A and B are shown apart, each in its own frame.
Chain A
Amino acid sequence: MKLKTLASALIVSGIMSQTVAAAELEISVQNLTHGNQFTPILIAAHDGDSHLFQAGEMATPALQKMAEGGDIADLAAAVTGAGGVTSENPAGGLLFPGAHVDSIMLDTLTMTHLSVTAMLLPTNDAFVGLDAWEIPTEAGTYTLNLNAYDAGTEANDEIINGGGAAGTPGIPAAPGMDGGANGTGVMDGSSNDKVHIHPGVLGDTDPNGGASDLDSRIHRWLNPVARITVVVK
């Protein structure tokens, strides 16, 4: 009886190791927006039970840190701590509108799902995200359009004040040097404190006043905001 159990356990583990055979991925990420930058990108391969974020769920403190200030260290540590693998900051800094970063190699080991996050600048807490996409076992090229999410952790006041630490109001920066100043602040009437599809920014056409420090002609977007291509080898 004991032997029999052991034997079937071996068989099961044999099957398991086949279905989760290591995949070598080659990934590219493109910024599709008109005028928004991506902060350092985090690409993570993890198991089917893990998530960097989930729409309809509260953001973790690690996600909040990424979405409000672009800091991926805590998210990356959470992934690797749970046995996942990451590619951190493959673009080597900001990924500007229209730019793409290619040839990101990722050996997924036994990990089955792929997630991607990066903050959108200039925003309060918008991020581009891919949540736990099941990595295909069939070799091929897969193209995915990614949406912008609102972390739900900070009011979208659209004030550029350098506020990038978690819990600090405001937008850390407008790297395109196209932000305004002296905005009185957009009243964010949203009561949704869960991660959700971002409603987009409002902006205005007054660089020295108005409600928003964002420019409605430059900083607005519609989904999708990014496109990733995953080549499964």
Chain B
Amino acid sequence: MAYSTFKYGATAFAVVASLTLVGCSDDDDQTPAPEPESFDYVVTVTNLTANQPFSPVAVVAHQADTPLWTAGMPASVALETLAESGDGSGLATETGVAALVSGSGIIAPGMSETINLSLTAAQVSNLSVVTMLVNTNDAFTGLGNYDISALAAGSMVKMRTITYDAGTENNSEAKGTIPGPADGGEGFNAARDDVNRVHSHPGVISADDGLSDSVLGASHRFDNPTMSVTIARSE
């Protein structure tokens, strides 16, 4: 498979080279290589929550038939890791992923971040933008499997996203189980002690609303939407 791909690439290069030669006159060795067509996107995310900082956002370009998550199905370990600890780097090696650009850091409630993404023509398919709500056991919000192939240069789309429960960790809200500043507890744990399917997050309860051993307070509760995402294609 890898060999045939290489062979195809070499053949394509040879065709381009001969065309270049035909179109050229005398000093043929000064001809610059053709610029690869570039698809440049500016992704802006805003944290709409009251008191749920976002982990560094993962902007992931991938194939349409390999979504990063599917509601009703178990989370991948890479997604579980993001949802429990905030570390999205493992998504880079998921099947079908062409590119991952990570945000520079935590996005505090009310704050925004702009992330640039540059793709080759072959990489343009679907986009996912995903981040953990860090004052939770395993909540994440994200735009999943959005088709950007029809987005024309100079145009933009703006969407708001809902919050998912990775279903990989019991929403105990207990001391030591939440990595965000509300607790400073554990991040990733390979054990799966919840329903083991991605679903619409039921929200956090908090001690203020009757979950007596919760480390969370009223301000950590959230409602949908939790994030706004703008995708603008500059080129």
Residues of A within 8 A of B (CB): 30-35, 97-100, 145, 200, 202, 204-205, 216-217, 220-225, 227
Q: Is B211's beta carbon under 8 Å from chain A?
A: yes
Chain B residues with Cβ below 8 Å from A225 are 200
- On whether the beta carbons of B72 and A99 are closer than 8 Å, the reply is yes
Residues 77-114 of chain B, each 1 if its beta carbon lies under 8 Å from chain A, else 0: 00000000000000000000000000000000000000
Report if B203 contacts A (CB, 8 A): yes
Complex contacts, B169 vs chain A, CB 8 Å = none
B186 on the interface (CB 8 Å rule)? Answer: no
Contacts of A227 in B (CB 8 A): 71
A205 close to B201 (CB less than 8 A): no
Chain B interface main SS type: loop
Decide: A224 near B211, CB < 8 A? Known: A30-B71, A34-B199, A34-B202.
no
- Of residues 195 through 235 on chain B, the ones whose CB sits less than 8 Å from some CB of chain A are 195, 197, 199-203, 205, 209-212, 222-224
Give complex CA distance A200, B224 in Å: 13
* Chain A residues whose C-beta falls within 8 Å of the C-beta of B210 in the assembled complex: 202, 204-205, 216
Q: Which one of B200, B209, B224 lies within 8 Å of A216 (CB-CB)?
A: B209
- Chain A contact surface mostly: loop
Instruction: Assess the B71–A32 pair: CB atoms within 8 A.
Output: yes
Chain B window 140-174, contacts with chain A (Cβ cutoff 8 Å), 1 for yes, 0 for no: 00000000000000000000001101000001000
Decide if B223 touches A222 in the complex (CB within 8 Å). yes
8 A–B pairs (Cβ distance < 8 Å), ordered by A: A32-B200, A34-B201, A98-B199, A145-B162, A216-B205, A217-B171, A222-B202, A224-B162
Q: How far is the CA of A202 from the CA of B221 in the complex (A)?
A: 13
Q: Given the complex of chains A and B, what is the CA–CA distance between A34 and B199 in angstroms?
A: 7
In the complex, what residues of A have CB within 8 A of residue B209's CB?
216
Are B199 and A220 within 8 A (Cβ)?
no
Q: In the complex, which residue of chain B has the Cβ closest to the Cβ of A227?
A: B71
Instruction: Tell me the complex Cα distance, A32–B69, Å.
Output: 13
Establish whether residues B224 and A222, one from each chain, have CB atoms under 8 Å apart when the complex forms. yes
Contact pick for B205, options A31, A99, A100, A217, CB 8 Å: A217
A33-B200, A205-B212, A220-B203 are known; give 13 further A-B pairs, CB within 8 A.
A31-B72, A32-B72, A33-B202, A34-B195, A34-B200, A34-B202, A204-B210, A205-B211, A216-B209, A217-B211, A222-B162, A222-B200, A222-B223
Distance in angstroms from B50 CB to nearest chain A CB is 14
Contacts of B71 in A (CB 8 A): 30, 32, 98, 227
Residues of A within 8 Å of B201, CB to CB, are 34, 222
Contact A34 B205 (CB under 8 A): no
Chain B positions within 8 Å of A35 at CB level = 202
Q: Which residues of A contact B199 (CB under 8 A)?
A: 32-34, 97-98
- In the bound complex, what is the Cα–Cα distance between A32 and B163 (angstroms)? 11
- Tell me how far the C-beta of A197 lies from the nearest C-beta in chain B, rounded to whole angstroms: 11
The answer to whether A223 and B224 have CB atoms under 8 Å apart is yes
Please tell me if the beta carbons of A220 and B202 are within 8 angstroms of each other in the complex: yes
Give A159 Cβ to nearest chain B Cβ, in Å: 17
Residues of A within 8 A of B202 (CB): 33-35, 220-222
Cα-based distance from A99 to B197 in the complex (angstroms): 10
Cα A31 to Cα B201 in complex, Å, equals 12
Q: Which residues of B contact A223 (CB under 8 A)?
A: 162, 200, 224
| Contact A222 B211, beta carbon cutoff 8 Å | no
> For residue A33, which residues in chain B have a CB less than 8 angstroms away from its CB?
199-200, 202
State the Cβ distance, A161 to closest chain B Cβ, in Å. Answer: 22
Q: How far is the CA of A223 from the CA of B160 in the complex (A)?
A: 13
Chain A residue numbers with a CB within 8 Å of B203 are 200, 220-222
A216–B212 Cα gap in the complex (Å)? 12
Distance to closest chain A CB from B44 (angstroms): 22
**In the complex, which residue of chain A has the Cβ closest to the Cβ of B145?**
A143
Contacts of B222 in A (CB 8 A): 222
